[in-house]
Amino acid sequence: MSQEVDFLILGQGLAGSLMAWELIARGQRVRVVDREEEATSSKVAGGLVSPISGGQLALTWRVDEWLPVAVQRYRDIEAAMGGAVRFYHEVPVVRFFRDEKERGQYEKRCVDQAYARYVSAAPDELSYEPAIFAPSHGGVEIAQGGFLEVREFLAAVRAWLVEKDAYQVAEFRESGLEKEESAGMRWAGDVTIAKGIIYCQGWEVCQGGGPFSWVPITPNKGELLTLESKDLPVDRIYNGGMWVSPRSDGRFRAGATYGRDTDPPGPTEAGREQIEAGLRRWCRASYQVCGKEAAFRPVVRGRKPVLGTHPEDPRFAILNGLGSKGVLYGPALAAMLADHLLRGEAIDPEVDVRRFWK
Ligand SMILES: Cc1cc2nc3c(=O)[nH]c(=O)nc-3n(C[C@H](O)[C@H](O)[C@H](O)COP(=O)(O)OP(=O)(O)OC[C@H]3O[C@@H](n4cnc5c(N)ncnc54)[C@H](O)[C@@H]3O)c2cc1C
């Protein structure tokens, strides 16, 4: 299958899928290469988006700018896939406070208008079914949250790419790349690459001696459960440290743990116990666990994503380090990189990969 493309994209996780979309939308010829592992960060991800997040109950970084881009992009992609299936679901997030310190954090922050506009029910307005939820310290409802059904989204993007002859199942190895000339490159003998290669391999981008092995990306293990429950409501995400989120198939996801790069791959009993113990602190719903999954998130030092071109060879680009917020950050960052590659527009210095160069 000899082919000339403008860009070769390595990996079809969230980063590679969104990157392919942005480039194809700008008239580029792409090929996406993925080795189709069963459990990757994107396939396992809960896919949650919340404008207020973390133990500090802070406004999520860049949410005002990047949330509208993300929602619009998922709607665009759904429309391009025929419009019959929704992958991104907008639902409020009920955030139960774990302790009085968290309630205090919220009370300090909510006087700021930029913050308060994401609050759809203050603690004294919050209603929930007391037979199902028993938070000890109250909570708050956050507007404009949502979740992407990531595995289904990736499968649809894959089918769309296959239809365009823009997808290949393969393991990419640097040794298969001919890059002597300063302009074009060839990969695996039969793909000629006119403009560049975009590294979207998740945490593995630093392995295998590629051009971005200097970027400080660490794998962070996460585990997650799939639940069946007749009790849990389907119209909200509930989060009290551990969260539970509805799915369109009637099941629920619950998670997630944050582990280390040295943890063994695959779901563990300890992970399951940690998630269930976290839920039991505020959730009385009965449920059955019908699935356990685990994968490694790509996390960059400082926790901000990385994108841009290699400082010494601009034929190589990267989009990575989406951490635990790939669904929110991915669309705006893929668009930023596409505009940089094709129109020379600036990369925001806070996310520019060059901040880690030498
Ligand atoms: C348990 C868990 C829960 C999460 N929950 C959320 C959440 O609620 N909200 C959220 O926004 N984010 C969440 N995330 C994080 C989110 O999934 C990541 O930010 C995102 O998936 C990263 O996408 P990526 O494309 O960079 O990497 P990946 O998903 O890892 O994709 C990389 C792809 O490249 C392929 N690949 C790698 N090397 C090669 C090679 N040499 N050749 C061919 N293919 C290759 C891999 O097989 C994979 O398909 C969660 C992650 C985990 C693990």
In-domain check, residue 347: yes
pLDDT in tens, 90-131: 999 999 999 999 999 999 999 999 999 999 999 999 999 999
The response to whether residue 325 sits with its C-beta less than 6 Å from ligand 1 reads yes
In-domain check, residue 165: yes
Residue 2 has pLDDT above 80, yes or no: no
Q: Is residue 16 domain-shared with residue 140, that is, in the same domain?
A: no
**Rounded distance between C-alpha atoms, residue 66 and residue 329, angstroms:** 6
Q: Is residue 239 domain-shared with residue 276, that is, in the same domain?
A: yes
Q: Is residue 140 domain-shared with residue 247, that is, in the same domain?
A: yes
CA distances from 195 to 5, 17, 169, 190, 314 (A): 8, 18, 21, 16, 9
Which pLDDT score, from 0 to 100, does residue 202 have? 96
Residue 1 has pLDDT above 70, yes or no: no
Residue 208 has pLDDT above 80, yes or no: no
Distance 298 CA to ligand 1 centre (A): 7
Q: Is residue 306 domain-shared with residue 343, that is, in the same domain?
A: yes
Could you give the dihedral angle defined by the CA atoms of residues 341, 330, 159 and 235, in that order, rounded to the nearest 10 degrees? Answer: -160
Distance 246 CA to ligand 1 centre (A): 21
Which pLDDT score, from 0 to 100, does residue 83 have? 87
In-domain check, residue 74: no
Q: Is residue 24 domain-shared with residue 110, that is, in the same domain?
A: no
User: How many structural domains does the chain have?
Assistant: 2
**Rounded distance between C-alpha atoms, residue 257 and residue 46, angstroms:** 11
In-domain check, residue 52: no
The domain that holds 197 is classified in CATH as 3.50.50.60
Which pLDDT score, from 0 to 100, does residue 298 have? 93
In-domain check, residue 193: yes
Which pLDDT score, from 0 to 100, does residue 183 have? 66
The domain that holds 123 is classified in CATH as 3.30.9.10
Which pLDDT score, from 0 to 100, does residue 257 have? 97
Q: Is residue 165 domain-shared with residue 284, that is, in the same domain?
A: no
| Tokens, residue 124 | 């004294």
Q: Is residue 197 domain-shared with residue 264, that is, in the same domain?
A: no
Q: Is residue 7 domain-shared with residue 31, that is, in the same domain?
A: yes
Which pLDDT score, from 0 to 100, does residue 206 have? 84
pLDDT in tens, 69-96: 999 999 999 999 988 899 999 999 999 9
The response to whether residue 217 sits with its C-beta less than 6 Å from ligand 1 reads no
Which pLDDT score, from 0 to 100, does residue 188 have? 83
- Asked if residue 278 lies in contact with residue 242, where contact means CB atoms within 8 angstroms, the answer is yes
Which pLDDT score, from 0 to 100, does residue 260 have? 83
Q: Is residue 107 domain-shared with residue 192, that is, in the same domain?
A: no
Q: For tokens 């990736």, what's the residue?
A: 154
**Rounded distance between C-alpha atoms, residue 101 and residue 83, angstroms:** 44
- Provide the mean pLDDT of the chain: 95
* Rounded average pLDDT over 206-217: 90
Q: Is residue 271 domain-shared with residue 184, that is, in the same domain?
A: no
Residue 205 has pLDDT above 80, yes or no: yes
> Domain end: 295, 321, 338, which one?
295
Residue 226 has pLDDT above 90, yes or no: yes
Could you give the dihedral angle defined by the CA atoms of residues 340, 297, 153 and 198, in that order, rounded to the nearest 10 degrees? Answer: 30
Percent of the chain with pLDDT over 90: 89
Q: Is residue 271 domain-shared with residue 336, that is, in the same domain?
A: no
Residue 33 has pLDDT above 70, yes or no: yes
Percent of the chain with pLDDT over 70: 99
* Rounded average pLDDT over 40-58: 96
In-domain check, residue 62: no
The response to whether residue 146 sits with its C-beta less than 6 Å from ligand 1 reads no
Could you give the dihedral angle defined by the CA atoms of residues 7, 198, 25 and 157, in that order, rounded to the nearest 10 degrees? Answer: 110
Band (pLDDT 50/70/90 cuts) for residue 182 is low
In-domain check, residue 67: no
The DSSP-derived string for 48-71 is EE-SEETTTTEEPTTHHHHHHHHH
The response to whether residue 42 sits with its C-beta less than 6 Å from ligand 1 reads yes
Q: Is residue 141 domain-shared with residue 224, that is, in the same domain?
A: yes
Band (pLDDT 50/70/90 cuts) for residue 264 is confident
The response to whether residue 144 sits with its C-beta less than 6 Å from ligand 1 reads no
Site to substitute for ligand 1 among 12, 297, 307, most atoms within 8 A of C-beta: 297
pLDDT in tens, 282-333: 999 999 999 999 999 999 988 899 999 999 999 999 999 999 999 999 999 9
Band (pLDDT 50/70/90 cuts) for residue 167 is very high
Of 158-162, 180-184, 263-267, the one with minimum mean pLDDT is: 180-184
Residue 20 has pLDDT above 70, yes or no: yes
Which pLDDT score, from 0 to 100, does residue 128 have? 93
Q: Which domain holds residue 130?
A: 92-145+219-295
In-domain check, residue 322: yes
Site to substitute for ligand 1 among 88, 201, 218, 307, most atoms within 8 A of C-beta: 201
